[in-house]
Amino acid sequence: MHANAKLTPLTRAQMALAHHQLSLSLRTTATAYGVCERTVRRWLARAKAQNFPLRLDDRSSTPHRQSRKISSQLEAQILVLRRQRRSYAQIMMVLPVSKATLSRVLRRAHLNRLSSLEPPKPPVIRYERDHPGELLHLDIKKLGRFARPGVRATGDRTVRNPGAGVESLHVAIDDHSRLAFACLLPDEKVPSVLIALDQAVRFYHAHGIKIQRLLTDRGSTYRSRLFAASCHELGLKHSFTKPYRPQTNGKAERFIQTITREWAYARPYKSSNHRATFLPHYLHDYNFHRPHSALNSLPPSSRLPKTADNVSRYNS
């Protein structure tokens, strides 16, 4: 039905019923509903044939007889072969069908993509702690160091930074408020991880948040005795993600994706040191100004304790 249609399925039925019960002329009914007499005659005939239903929907445009439609037996054979993960070419070698016919049959059965044969994925379990500080997600992202702009900035693959090495971006994000922290350190070894943890705890404490529990992956640094001792000293409980399930730490993974896109690779930097100078500015914008989709388009600061310090940061 097009946008300017004068008759809806409900109005068609009402028009036919009114014409029949009031014994109106075709011209009177057509004038009253703003259509031609031929339209009134057509819908009246259909209404009589269906014993005046409450709605008169459009008929299917499919022909009553389709002389070239494949048989149900051949269609069943196609579906059996497809469920055996046969490709289009393999099915056409076995059965006398064209690629167009094969495509139509598989589309009707929603088997045109082999991914449709995969077992359904388990439902995504989303969770959020009730208060800031109940759970802090930690993760690490390696970033390449460079002394001059590379291929991402120039598009020239001949521009290299041999021997520049990598540096590690240590990130933390609060489960409830999404308040984020990040720092750049030379590596992801135990001493660097301990420094990042201490800085993160101090950062959240400065915003009125006391961290209670950590969630990390099963990296060797996070499983080290020194990290466990540091957590015990800070009064933190430490939990690990399930093996081969990075989705458990999805908030940290998603923040890494965001910060690399909006900060690390957002603009051409002169060097990795120049890039590092923009990190504090980005974190302030992320925490106090950038709208967050999981927070009804409000920044993470909207869920912070309303202290004078937080309010001043929010308005800066």
What range defines the domain where residue 194 resides? Answer: 136-314
Q: Where are the alpha helices (DSSP H) in 84-189?
A: 88-94, 99-108, 151-154
Is residue 38 within 8 Å of 70, Cβ to Cβ?
no
Quick one: which H or E segment has residue 213? strand 213-216
CATH number of residue 221's parent domain: 3.30.420.10
Question: What does the pLDDT average to over 298-305?
Answer: 90
* Whether residues 162 and 274 fall in one domain: yes
State the total domains in the chain.
Answer: 3
pLDDT of amino acid 48: 93
Same domain, 190 and 269: yes
Does 274 lie in the same domain as 155? yes
Going by C-alpha positions, the residue among 104, 181, 192, 108 that lies closest to residue 138 is 181
| Per-residue pLDDT tens over the stretch 18-30 | 999 999 999 999 9
Same domain, 279 and 193: yes
Tell me, yes or no, whether 40 and 183 share the same domain: no
- 93 belongs to a structural domain: yes
pLDDT at site 2: 62
On the question of pLDDT at 208 being above 80, the answer is yes
Confidence at 1, pLDDT banded by 50, 70, 90: low
Asked if residue 201 and residue 240 are part of one domain, the reply reads yes
Across 69-73, 153-157, 266-270, 312-316, least confident range:
312-316
In the predicted model, what is the mean pLDDT of residues 71-96? 93
Question: Does 110 share its domain with 184?
Answer: no
Residue 242: pLDDT band with limits 50, 70, 90: confident
Does residue 145 share a domain with residue 289?
Answer: yes
Residue 64 in any domain: the answer is no
Q: Kindly state whether residues 199 and 308 are assigned to the same domain.
A: yes
Does residue 158 lie in a domain region?
Answer: yes
pLDDT tens per residue across span 187-201: 999 999 999 999 999
- Residue 162 domain-assigned (yes or no): yes
Instruction: Provide DSSP, 136-149.
Output: EEEEEEEEE--SS-
> Please, which pLDDT band fits residue 69 given cuts at 50, 70 and 90?
confident
191 and 84, same domain (yes or no): no
Mean residue pLDDT across the chain:
89
179 with 209: CB under 8 angstroms? yes
Q: Where does the pLDDT of residue 5 fall: very low under 50, low under 70, confident under 90, or very high at 90 and above? A: confident
Mean pLDDT, to the nearest integer, of 294-308? 85
Kindly state the percentage of the chain with pLDDT values over 70: 95
Nearest-angstrom CA–CA distance, 4 and 2: 6
Tell me: the pLDDT tens digits for 127-180? 889 999 999 999 999 998 888 887 777 777 777 777 778 999 999 999 999 999
Q: Is the pLDDT of residue 261 over 90?
A: yes
- Residue 236: inside a domain: yes
Mean pLDDT across the stretch 249-278? 92
Q: Look at residue 126 and tell me if it is in a domain.
A: no
Q: What is the pLDDT of residue 163?
A: 73
Residues 224 and 95 in one domain: no
Pairing of strands 166-174, 180-185: antiparallel
pLDDT at 284 exceeding the cut of 90: yes
Residue 313 confidence (pLDDT): 64
Least confident of 112-116, 138-142, 182-186, 309-313: 309-313
Q: Is residue 59 part of a domain?
A: no
In a domain, 219, yes or no: yes
User: Residue 237 has what pLDDT?
Assistant: 95
Tell me which amino acid residue 100 is.
Answer: A
Q: Return the pLDDT at 148.
A: 80
| 3-class DSSP assignment, residue 241 | coil
pLDDT of residue 164: 79
pLDDT value at position 77? 95
C-alpha–C-alpha distance, residues 177 and 209, integer Å: 10
- Do 101 and 44 share a domain, yes or no? no
pLDDT at 38 exceeding the cut of 80: yes
